[in-house]
Amino acid sequence: MKQFLTQDALKSYLQNKGGSIGFVPTMGALHEGHLALIKAAKAQCEQVVCSIFVNPTQFNDPSDFEKYPKTLANDIKLLTETGCDIVYTPEVDDLYPSGMKNLPHYPLGRLEELLEGAHRPGHFQGVCVVVDKLLQAVQPSHLYMGQKDFQQIAIIRKMLEITKSNVNLIECPTVRESSGLAMSSRNSRLSAEQKTQALAIFQGFNSPSAAAFESALVANGFETVDYVACCDPITLENKPWDERPCQILVAAFIGGVRLIDNQFMP
């Protein structure tokens, strides 16, 4: 696997390679959820590029940014074992050479007012800024993203429309621990007990009401529930709890760690 630290070096290497490029943007601390995206890209594309970059502009909470787990040496080992061809690991200056002010603004509309958008001001603008920059650097034919971040996929689809990109966005299913807990880099900040308590998210999708789901989270040690919502899977607008089909989406804090998850209810 080749590693590049600058987009210039990455671009000139990729220029001499023909064929399809599958791209997997990540923030590192890689787990099986990320590796499933790499494997999906490998099955469809001639070159697989992964980026590892903890993007400061998408963090609305400075302590979440500071505490974000970093395991670069192990990430590189996992990517190599999984058959990733190229990893791009930039420093902030390489992606933000003119600083982090006066960045583009994407007219995302309603989608960024709902759910994560309401609780994490500016988050999705930061996600769009970095993914747009990464797409310009990598110029992939295919972009792989996980349904674990369900709203993020809808946002990126909208951003691709706004920028008139013709990259193929490929959605990959959420990878879970055998217990049902959705894999997440932030899980490494949980104790064994908190991981067991966090199963209340997976177990809650079949709750009889949003209120019952929230109570179960609180009873299992979650200190704050940002939202438990039953939504239209396309627009993400709220729906009555028992309407089907729907997407149930959850965000809640346990041990100071913010977890999100979602499930399609056919």
List of residues contacting ligand AMP (CB under 6 A): 26-27, 33-34, 36-37, 145-146, 148-149, 172, 174-175, 182-185
Counting beta carbons within 10 angstroms of the beta carbon of residue 231, is it exposed (0 to 12), middle (13 to 18) or buried (19 or more)? buried
Closest contact distance (angstroms) between CB of 174 and ligand AMP is 4
* 3-state secondary structure labels for all residues of 45-87: CCEEEEEECCCHHHCCCHHHHHCCCCCHHHHHHHHHHHCCCEE
Residue given tokens 């670069």 in the structure block: 72
Closest contact distance (angstroms) between CB of 154 and ligand AMP is 12
Q: What angle do CA 65, 102, 155 make, to 5 degrees?
A: 60
The residue number with the shortest CB distance to ligand AMP is 146
Rounded to whole angstroms, the Cα distance separating 86 from 124 reads: 26
Nearer to ligand AMP, 10 or 131 (CB): 131
Closest contact distance (angstroms) between CB of 148 and ligand AMP is 4
The one catalytic residue in 31, 34, 123, 142 is 34
Nearer to ligand AMP, 170 or 210 (CB): 170
66: left (phi > 0), else alpha (psi -120 to 50), else beta?
alpha
Nearer to ligand AMP, 160 or 175 (CB): 175
Nearer to ligand AMP, 33 or 126 (CB): 33
Closest contact distance (angstroms) between CB of 184 and ligand AMP is 6
Rounded to whole angstroms, the Cα distance separating 126 from 45 reads: 27
Please confirm, yes or no, whether 123 is among the known catalytic residues: no
Active-site positions read 34
